[in-house]
Amino acid sequence: MTVSIDWENLGFEYRQLPFRYISVYKDGAWDDGKLSEDAILHLSEASPALHYGQQAFEGLKAYRTKDGSVQLFRPDENAKRLQRTADRMLMPQVPTEKFVEACKAVVKANEEFVPPYGTGGTLYLRPLLIGVGDIIGVKPAEEYIFTIFAMPVGNYFKGGLAPTNFLIQGDFDRAAPHGTGAAKVGGNYAASLLPGKVAKSQGFSDVIYLDPATHTKIEEVGSANFFGITKDNEFITPLSLSILPSITKYSLLYLAEHRLGLKPVEGDVYITELDKFVEAGACGTAAVISPIGGVQYQDKLHIFYSETEVGPITRRLYDELTGIQFGDIEAPEGWIVKVD
């Protein structure tokens, strides 16, 4: 089958592909899992995932390289993060090998939907782990479904590498200091829907949350981590218990140091000290690197580099990261997993 898709203008939308992976956990063990053509999940109306949010998800991408092959970027890190989230939510871990093999199987089965090299598109994979079964008290499920579905995607934020503005939100928190902010669970995103709607209705790409304890420090974007570049060539990202440990962010901390010669720093980013940044961005699997033109906080719009142009260091980081992901630049050991 040859698919006809406008690869250059994909955006970030659900598209039902022919195959997804599905595995069931029952009686204390995972089954072998299989590819399925059924895009509908069948589960009990009493499933804890539906009532009490006992669920977790992940996001990673498959990339088409110049020679036509397909590769994954650090899928073992997504597997490990899902295991940490599973521990926090009292769910069974999906072993790393099972996770990575399942990702490969889904990509292979839907290979014609991996966008061509050079279009900027990728195949986004959405692993999902949910507690199911007939349970109505607030307690963990005894049965679980682990599934991975996929869809071709383009930019998450409409600007792509063009800067967009974000709203610093002081009235709503997405997570509590010792809550589930560091776990990739749906509840964090449910909490972000209302503030996200407010921000988007005012023309902003998304919300930047402040630390929930003091509301004085930048935490992260609703769908990505935050980074800033200082005049002194520091690459700074917030360090906090309540933000999602972004695999892209940790990759950038490494690349900033080892490939760009910047000083990598995880630390506090006070809203009163935004002047020290000459560039800023949001980073994540979906967001890739999305330059932040300006941030609105209360009645002031603070511009970092420019509202219309990406800064030079952000562009170099973007080129290095995406060059590795699409196979044009040599990757640090273990970062790339070939699908074929």
> Alpha-carbon distance 51 to 20, whole Å?
25
Rounded to 5 degrees, φ, ψ at 271 are: -65, -15
> Alpha-carbon distance 257 to 130, whole Å?
38
Q: Is residue 320 at the binding interface for ligand PLP, with CB under 6 A as the rule? A: no
Candidates 224, 236, 255, 339; binder of ligand PLP (CB under 6 A) is 224
**190: alpha, beta or left, given left = phi > 0 and alpha = psi -120 to 50?**
alpha
Q: Which residue is nearest to ligand COI (CB)?
A: 59
Least separation in angstroms between CB 57 and ligand COI: 7
Least separation in angstroms between CB 233 and ligand COI: 27
- Asked if residues 24 and 143 have their Cβ atoms less than 8 Å apart, the reply is yes
Count the site residues for ligand PLP by CB under 6 A. Answer: 12
Query: Mask 260-299, x = binds ligand PLP (CB under 6 A)?
Result: ------------------------xx--------------
Least separation in angstroms between CB 35 and ligand COI: 22
**Which one of the listed residues 61, 80, 98, 184 is annotated catalytic?**
184
The reply to whether 184 belongs to the active site is yes
Least separation in angstroms between CB 285 and ligand COI: 4
> Alpha-carbon distance 188 to 176, whole Å?
10
Q: Is residue 155 at the binding interface for ligand PLP, with CB under 6 A as the rule? A: no
Query: Which residues of the chain form contacts with ligand COI (CB under 6 A)?
Result: 59, 223, 284-286
**Binding span for ligand PLP by CB under 6 A among 21-29, 120-128, 221-229, 327-335:** 221-229
Q: Which of residues 79-98 bind ligand PLP (CB under 6 A)?
A: none
User: Beta partners for 148?
Assistant: 21, 127
Radius of gyration of the chain measured on its C-alpha atoms: 20
As a three-state string, the secondary structure of 77-113 is HHHHHHHHHHHHCCCCCCCHHHHHHHHHHHHHHCHHH
- Asked if residues 299 and 167 have their Cβ atoms less than 8 Å apart, the reply is no
Complex with ligand PLP: residue 103 or 135, whichever CB lies closer: 103
Known catalytic residues are 184
